[in-house]
Amino acid sequence: MPALNVEFSDRELEDLRQIAKERGTSMKALVREAAAADIARHRALQEGAEAFRRFFQGHAAEFAAAFPDDEPPARGAGRAA
């Protein structure tokens, strides 16, 4: 399995040791769990953003009708000929 060396300050290492001890786990497991949780959070945010984009695109006309002041000006609108 690939590995990654991560550097921590003395204070961070001491905090990690304390947290791992309180949780009854190893520092390695604690750091891996934190990284895995952040990866899962990142994926969920990406999936949520994509779902929102699809929803918004699918209902663009309804949003435009409901919020006309938020629509960008039409191309060429406001230009002098």
The whole-number pLDDT of residue 30 equals 97
Interatomic CA distance for residues 42 and 28, integer angstroms = 21
Q: What is the pLDDT of residue 44?
A: 98
What are residue 9's phi and psi, to 5 degrees? -70, 165
- Give 13-27 pLDDT, tens digit per residue: 999 999 999 999 999
pTM for this prediction: 0.68
* Per-residue pLDDT at 75: 76
